[in-house]
């Protein structure tokens, strides 16, 4: 659907929820464009009475097989199928990122206008990344659902659904920020495997993800200031509560700095990584 100003106003939370739970890839991607265009043209209704579900749902294609992360095979890039499996894994992350951004819009109410504009833009950009990867995967003879996937990202969405502060702390600033650390290496490996198209797509994703993580950083610090909470101890408390074993290295410090991480935060993360390494060496 192509949006135009003559169309009726769109209910922000109801439409976001409808897209979130949709299992149709085409409906979700097309709807993202419709919703974001409506936002840019100030043709949105804030339907604050629209109910928020207690369960945290996300729509995934019906043919997608979900397994525990430990059951996923290692992706060896020397074969075309191995490269396709790697691209499929990234594709799945981007589809989850679309759902995460939509849930951030739909679930958390009474935030400033700029918050909703930020996450609608993120959702649309994640949808664009998904399309780029899907087209490339199809050129290799595969499609979304051809390989099993896991729901690690969405599990964190479920854990943090109770509070927008926890969500901002642990989804963009922890899970998505990890992509800033690993994407350059994955892109290099794909380039070495003679898949320059995939490497170029990852360069686009990396550039945009810096902005997406920055959105999480901005709203995390906004919420800490609004609640008069110290940002670093609060982040550490949330890590211990919801993701005690998740912080991994090495960190790509320059990418994280560009995304708004402060030096004391980077020092904290590196200290956690060092402690984890020492514990693993001692065991």
pTM: 0.93
194: left (phi over 0), alpha (psi -120 to 50) or beta: left
- Look at residue 252 in the predicted model and tell me its pLDDT: 96
**CA 18/CA 282 separation, integer angstroms:** 50
Classify residue 2 as exposed, middle or buried by CB count within 10 Å of its CB (0-12, 13-18, 19+).
Answer: exposed
CATH of 64-282, one of 1.10.1200, 1.20.1260, 1.10.20, 2.60.40: 1.20.1260
Residues of the chain with pLDDT below 70 are 1-7, 69-75, 277-283
Handedness of CA 263, 125, 127, 14 (dihedral sign): positive
- Look at residue 166 in the predicted model and tell me its pLDDT: 98
CA 268 → CA 233, 236, 272, distances in Å?
10, 9, 6
- Look at residue 150 in the predicted model and tell me its pLDDT: 84
**CA 190/CA 203 separation, integer angstroms:** 11
**CA 129/CA 136 separation, integer angstroms:** 11
In the structure encoding, which two tokens stand for residue 82, read together?
Answer: 């191995």
- Look at residue 277 in the predicted model and tell me its pLDDT: 65
- Look at residue 3 in the predicted model and tell me its pLDDT: 39
Handedness of CA 165, 166, 171, 177 (dihedral sign): positive
- Look at residue 5 in the predicted model and tell me its pLDDT: 45
In the structure encoding, which two tokens stand for residue 38, read together?
Answer: 């409506």
Q: Helix (H, G, I), strand (E, B), or coil: what is residue 44?
A: strand
- Look at residue 274 in the predicted model and tell me its pLDDT: 87
CA 14 → CA 1, 46, 105, 210, 250, distances in Å?
18, 9, 10, 29, 40
- Look at residue 283 in the predicted model and tell me its pLDDT: 55
* Complete DSSP assignment for 55-89: S------TT--B--GGGSPP--TTSHHHHHHHHHH
Give the residue extent of every domain in the chain.
Answer: 64-282
């Amino acid at each position: 659907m192509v949006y135009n100003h003559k169309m009726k106003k769109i209910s922000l939370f109801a439409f976001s929820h409808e897209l979130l739970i949709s299992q149709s890839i085409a409906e979700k991607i097309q709807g993202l464009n419709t919703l974001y265009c409506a936002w840019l043209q100030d043709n949105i209704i804030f339907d604050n009475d629209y109910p928020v579900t207690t369960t945290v749902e996300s729509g995934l294609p019906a043919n997608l097989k979900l397994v525990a992360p430990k059951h996923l095979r290692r992706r060896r890039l020397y074969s075309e199928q191995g490269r396709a499996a790697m691209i499929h894994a990234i594709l799945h992350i981007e589809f989850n990122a679309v759902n995460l951004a939509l849930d951030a819009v739909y679930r958390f109410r009474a935030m400033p206008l700029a918050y909703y504009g930020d996450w609608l833009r993120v959702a649309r950009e994640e949808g664009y990344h998904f399309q780029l990867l899907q087209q490339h995967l199809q050129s290799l003879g595969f499609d979304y659902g051809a390989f099993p996937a896991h729901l690690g990202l969405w599990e964190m969405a479920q854990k943090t659904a109770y509070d927008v502060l926890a969500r901002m702390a642990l989804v963009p600033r922890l899970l998505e920020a990890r992509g800033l650390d690993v994407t350059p290496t994955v892109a290099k490996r794909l380039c070495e495997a003679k898949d320059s198209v995939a490497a170029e797509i990852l360069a686009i994703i990396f550039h945009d993800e810096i902005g997406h993580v920055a959105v999480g950083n901005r709203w995390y610090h906004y919420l800490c200031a609004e609640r008069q909470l110290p940002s670093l101890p609060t982040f550490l408390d949330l890590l211990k509560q919801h993701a005690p074993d998740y912080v991994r290295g090495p960190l790509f410090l320059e990418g994280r700095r560009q995304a708004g991480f402060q030096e004391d935060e980077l020092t904290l993360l590196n200290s956690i990584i060092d402690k984890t390494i020492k514990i693993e060496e001692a065991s």
